Amino acid sequence: MNPKAEEILGLKCYKSVLDVPDEVDFAVIVVPSRIVPIVLEECGKKGVKAVQIISSGFKELGTPEGVELEKKIVEIGRKYNVRIIGPNTFGLVYTPSKINASFGPREVVEGSIAFITQSGALGIALMGWTILEEIGLSALVSEGNKCDVDEADLLEFFAQDPHTKVVTIYLEGFAPGEGRRFFEVAKKFTKIKPLIVVKGGRSELGEKAVASHTGSLAGSDKIYDAVFKQSGIIRALYIDQMFEWAIALSLGSSPAGSKVVAITNGGGAGVQFTDAACDWGLDFWTPLPEDIQSMFRKYMPPFGSPRNPVDLTGQAGIEAYEGAVYEALMEPRIGSVAVLYCRVAILDPMDFAKAVINAVNRARNEGVEKSVVVGAVGGIDTLEAIKYLRRNKIPAYATPERAAAALSAIHKWAKWVGIVKE
Amino acid sequence: MNPKAEEILGLKCYKSVLDVPDEVDFAVIVVPSRIVPIVLEECGKKGVKAVQIISSGFKELGTPEGVELEKKIVEIGRKYNVRIIGPNTFGLVYTPSKINASFGPREVVEGSIAFITQSGALGIALMGWTILEEIGLSALVSEGNKCDVDEADLLEFFAQDPHTKVVTIYLEGFAPGEGRRFFEVAKKFTKIKPLIVVKGGRSELGEKAVASHTGSLAGSDKIYDAVFKQSGIIRALYIDQMFEWAIALSLGSSPAGSKVVAITNGGGAGVQFTDAACDWGLDFWTPLPEDIQSMFRKYMPPFGSPRNPVDLTGQAGIEAYEGAVYEALMEPRIGSVAVLYCRVAILDPMDFAKAVINAVNRARNEGVEKSVVVGAVGGIDTLEAIKYLRRNKIPAYATPERAAAALSAIHKWAKWVGIVKE
């Protein structure tokens, strides 16, 4: 729609939504803020179910006029029962329907992670990041001023959305009253799907920064932390963690128990994983019982170590990795398997990746699934192998420590829903 | 040297080092372990100053024969005053002399970070990582069994090496007695150059993993932590942190004071930086005094925020960034500047990078240098801009949080040497 054009980019253009002959489900409003009420009123009359208002110039201005204008559009929305996303949003993406109604990048990678952001510029930039890192999204919603639709509403949608497995939120805070409902909805949501949140404004100074950014009440962080725990929300401190953990939860299978085993070709990588596993509260099972040690001993030279970390040594080839990972998957006392790899001349990273994938597939063919994460250290070819593993539904990371953190997110959710006992 | 060849890869081959007509400074020994003593003896007679023994089959075997053989080479080394690196090392790199005597990747990036590793496979894999991330190295030393040369010796070398600005160590532990000397040397070293250490085996379980890996005594972590602090060592927990901080310390200038200001085009990025700055103990200066706020207000629309984070808003272009960063550098009360960027359509990442570089150069031309770090969020073009900034000596990272952590490493060292007061 545009009052002045007959055609835009080869598509027929109407003067008003009221002129459109068909039904309209969803409208994107990008007109100067003072005209938004007029367009919204027309959408209401037309029976449009939901709109997204990209226009800014509302409450975020901090002026009485801005606040007044925002109140007005809320009233119009209620009158006609039109749900509003925004205003002051950069848009919305829903990959199952091939919708990208945002002014962010176009080539969003399809997947099953929904990303909700309360921050505009950071959200757009993170869209670019998901493309770079090949992080598959089902949806992306920039909330803007949240005059109507908020996180709680979106969680209710994503809870029943078959294309979404995990929800991530960059959250800064809530308007008065909004928080209580969010945590009520989140508590139900997390029993169905994992929810990972970065809460901006954790620190006292960050709280002040939030106040001058989105104007939300950041609130005492101790209270947030407690309520996050009670609601089964997985809290990430940093934005890269949020996405790395979402990859784990969107791609990976559930653990078969709490106990974690790490298989490596480098002792140092095993040590780093062990330390990080302890940092993140994983139940790292060491030393392994004698019978499991014997099982692993088959795949290593005499100077290897089967205690856990299971050190296949730098001599490990495809057979050693595939064999050890397969046996770890088939052993019912092991809950999750971390596979670590240091790029050495003897084993190409892509061969390593294929060995892991083969082991996972062989176990699956015998009816066994459990969570597997990979931490692979190396250069450009190792990065390619990490992406290849992700495309094959195995969460893979550039360091053992990140693999441990991601695995802990899987275990946290599994405990919350009772798949794994404490 | 090779007893069976006349020529290898077109180079003349001698049967023994004793047949070489010229002087020999450094020899790389890669013969079966039982022959190592013979070759080493010849090196001693020839007057070789240092050897690196890549061969394995010594103490790391855990057999009496292995221990005996290692003792023997130590004795030969002492007899002839030949310093020994290894055995069981993957080699050594020294980029100023274009030496890469390792079996890791060839195309090491030149720079001023020395990397010492007690772990083999992890060390080789991290060589690949430095190439991928364009992390410039002056040197890389795989210590192997440390039968003679250890971290303390290497620190003494790097302290006076003009090509090395920062030393990083992946450390697992010490042989009895070795630790005390290391910390004594480190305490002097850190007054001259920064030293960043990842200590594997921090956790109780990780300690056990170390015992079965390098056989070192990992030792109580609380003691390590205390001694690290007393020695001015910057402790990283994870390997990616170690390199990210080394980039900051090898490229960046020193702070002009403790106070940190962040300039951003996205409120969310500012909030994330603020939280991380508090996590890492930076002196984040907010709200700024009124006169400094007025100075920044010139570079932003009315809805921006000059309080700190200085939010130039998503409308910020080249002039706004360059102007604000330049003024922050020229303002004597500001110690360090973090420049944050969210990839938005209005400002290309490379233009952003150039704006920062211009501001830094303009200030430098007026005799002002202080530490600047960049946190830039986005896709592939943002990653290119990050690499471009690093090539122009500005430490740049993919998230605001990593920039904060890296800046904290700069400030920690500046406090330790008294450049910045507490």
Q: Which two tokens stand for residue B340?
A: 């944050």
> A245: which residues sit within 8 A by CB, 6+ positions away?
A196, A234, A236, A405, A406, A409
Closest CA to A303 of B73, B121, B313: B121
Nearest Cβ partner of B122 from A120, A269, A382?
A269
Question: Can you give the pLDDT of all 422 residues of chain A as single tens digits?
Answer: 777 778 888 888 888 899 999 999 999 999 999 999 999 999 999 999 999 999 999 998 889 999 999 999 999 999 999 999 999 999 999 999 999 999 899 999 999 999 999 999 999 999 999 999 999 999 999 999 999 999 999 999 999 999 999 999 999 988 888 899 999 999 999 999 999 999 999 988 988 888 777 666 656 888 889 999 999 999 999 999 999 999 999 998 999 999 999 999 999 999 999 999 999 999 999 999 999 999 999 999 988 999 999 999 999 999 999 999 999 999 999 999 999 999 999 999 999 999 999 999 999 999 999 999 999 999 999 999 999 999 999 999 999 999 999 999 999 999 999 999 86
Q: How far is B62 from chain A (nearest CA, A)?
A: 8
Instruction: Name every chain A residue with its beta carbon within 8 A of the beta carbon of B205.
Output: 274-275, 277-278, 284, 286
- Measured distance CA(B376)–CA(B340) in Å, rounded: 6
- Measured distance CA(A301)–CA(A50) in Å, rounded: 64
Q: Which two tokens stand for residue A121?
A: 């510029």
- Measured distance CA(B234)–CA(B194) in Å, rounded: 8
Q: Which two tokens stand for residue B161?
A: 């090496």
pLDDT value, residue B218: 58
Contact A213 B305 (CB under 8 A): yes
pLDDT value, residue A218: 58
Angle between helices B349-365 and B318-330 (to 10 degrees): 30
Contact B266 A121 (CB under 8 A): yes
- Measured distance CA(A422)–CA(A411) in Å, rounded: 10
Contact A268 B119 (CB under 8 A): yes
Question: Can you give the pLDDT of all 422 residues of chain B as single tens digits?
Answer: 777 778 888 888 888 899 999 999 999 999 999 999 999 999 999 999 999 999 999 998 889 999 999 999 999 999 999 999 999 999 999 999 999 999 899 999 999 999 999 999 999 999 999 999 999 999 999 999 999 999 999 999 999 999 999 999 999 988 888 899 999 999 999 999 999 999 999 988 888 888 777 666 656 888 889 999 999 999 999 999 999 999 999 998 999 999 999 999 999 999 999 999 999 999 999 999 999 999 999 999 988 999 999 999 999 999 999 999 999 999 999 999 999 999 999 999 999 999 999 999 999 999 999 999 999 999 999 999 999 999 999 999 999 999 999 999 999 999 999 999 86
Q: How far is B202 from chain A (nearest CA, A)?
A: 6
Q: How far is A297 from chain B (nearest CA, A)?
A: 14
Among B119, B239, B275, B285, the strongest candidate for a mutation testing the A interface, having the largest count of A CBs within 10 A, is: B275
Nearest Cβ partner of B314 from A121, A309, A399?
A121
Q: How far is A189 from chain B (nearest CA, A)?
A: 25
Nearest Cβ partner of A265 from B60, B121, B274?
B121
pLDDT value, residue A11: 85
Among B67, B89, B102, B122, the strongest candidate for a mutation testing the A interface, having the largest count of A CBs within 10 A, is: B122
Sheet of A234-236, strands arranged across: A99-102, A91-94, A137-142, A110-117, A166-171, A195-199, A234-236
**Residues B253-277 pLDDT 10s:** 999 999 999 999 999 999 999 999 9
How high is the ipTM of this complex? 0.94
> A353: which residues sit within 8 A by CB, 6+ positions away?
A374, A376, A385, A386, A388, A389, A392, A396
Lookup result for tokens 């075997």: B61
Instruction: Name every chain B residue with its beta carbon within 8 A of the beta carbon of A126.
Output: 377
E runs forming strands in A131-279: 137-142, 166-171, 195-199, 234-236, 259-264
Q: Which two tokens stand for residue A133?
A: 């890192």
- Burial (CB count <10 Å: 0-12, 13-18, 19+), residue B421: exposed
pLDDT value, residue A60: 87
Give pTM, 2 decimals. Answer: 0.95
Helices (H) and strands (E) in chain A, counts: 14, 18
Contact B380 A105 (CB under 8 A): no
Cα A244–chain centre separation:
7
Contact B345 A103 (CB under 8 A): yes
Instruction: Name every chain A residue with its beta carbon within 8 A of the beta carbon of B135.
Output: none
Q: How far is B225 from chain A (nearest CA, A)?
A: 15
Q: Give the residue from chain A lying closest to B128, CA to CA.
A: A379
**Residue burial B320-331, b: 16+ Cβ < 10 Å; e: rest:** bbbbbbbbbbeb
Contacts of range A382-390, beta carbons closer than 8 Å, 24 or more positions apart: A382/A341, A382/A343, A382/A349, A382/B125, A382/B128, A382/B132, A383/B132, A384/A349, A384/A350, A385/A349, A385/A350, A385/A352, A385/A353, A386/A353, A387/A134, A388/A350, A388/A353, A389/A353, A389/A356, A389/A357, A390/A134, A390/A247, A390/A251
Residue B180 phi/psi, 5-degree rounding, is -55, -45
Lookup result for tokens 């962080």: A221
How far are the Cα atoms of A274, B28, B30, B57 from residue B103, in angstroms, in the given order? 27, 12, 11, 17
Domains of chain A, earliest start first: 7-85 (3.40.50.720), 91-250 (3.40.50.261), 253-417 (3.40.50.261)
Nearest Cβ partner of A278 from B200, B206, B380?
B206
Contact B379 A131 (CB under 8 A): yes
> B339: which residues sit within 8 A by CB, 6+ positions away?
B262, B263, B264, B321, B325, B356, B372, B373, B374, B375
Contact B268 A121 (CB under 8 A): yes
Nearest Cβ partner of B307 from A212, A271, A344?
A212
Q: Give the residue from chain B lying closest to A218, CA to CA.
A: B271
How far are the Cα atoms of A103, A143, B93, B268 from residue A124, in angstroms, in the given order? 8, 12, 42, 11
- Measured distance CA(A87)–CA(A55) in Å, rounded: 6
Nearest Cβ partner of A399 from B238, B287, B377?
B238
- Measured distance CA(A211)–CA(B52) in Å, rounded: 59
Tell me if the bond preceding A309 is cis, omega within 30° of 0.
yes
Closest CA to B31 of B56, B66, B49: B56
pLDDT value, residue B219: 65
Sheet of A83-85, strands arranged across: A26-29, A50-53, A83-85
Q: Which two tokens stand for residue A386?
A: 């990490």
- DSSP letters, B18-81, are GG-SS--SEEEE-S-GGGHHHHHHHHHHHT-SEEEE----SGGG-SHHHHHHHHHHHHHHHHHT
Instruction: Name every chain A residue with its beta carbon within 8 A of the beta carbon of B122.
Output: 266-269, 272, 342, 377
Instruction: Name every chain B residue with its beta carbon within 8 A of the beta carbon of A303.
Output: 60-62
Q: Give the residue from chain A lying closest to B58, CA to CA.
A: A303
Closest CA to A49 of A25, A23, A14, A85: A25
Tell me the three state secondary structure of residue A359: helix
How far are the Cα atoms of B96, B310, B388 from residue B166, in angstroms, in the given order? 15, 31, 21
Continuous segment of H or E residues that includes residue A191 = none
Nearest Cβ partner of B271 from A103, A128, A209?
A209
- Measured distance CA(A409)–CA(A234) in Å, rounded: 7
Q: How far is A23 from chain B (nearest CA, A)?
A: 33
Nearest Cβ partner of A213 from B170, B201, B270?
B270
Cβ contacts from A onto B, under 8 A: 262
Closest CA to A242 of A170, A147, A305, A178: A170
- Measured distance CA(B80)–CA(A297) in Å, rounded: 42
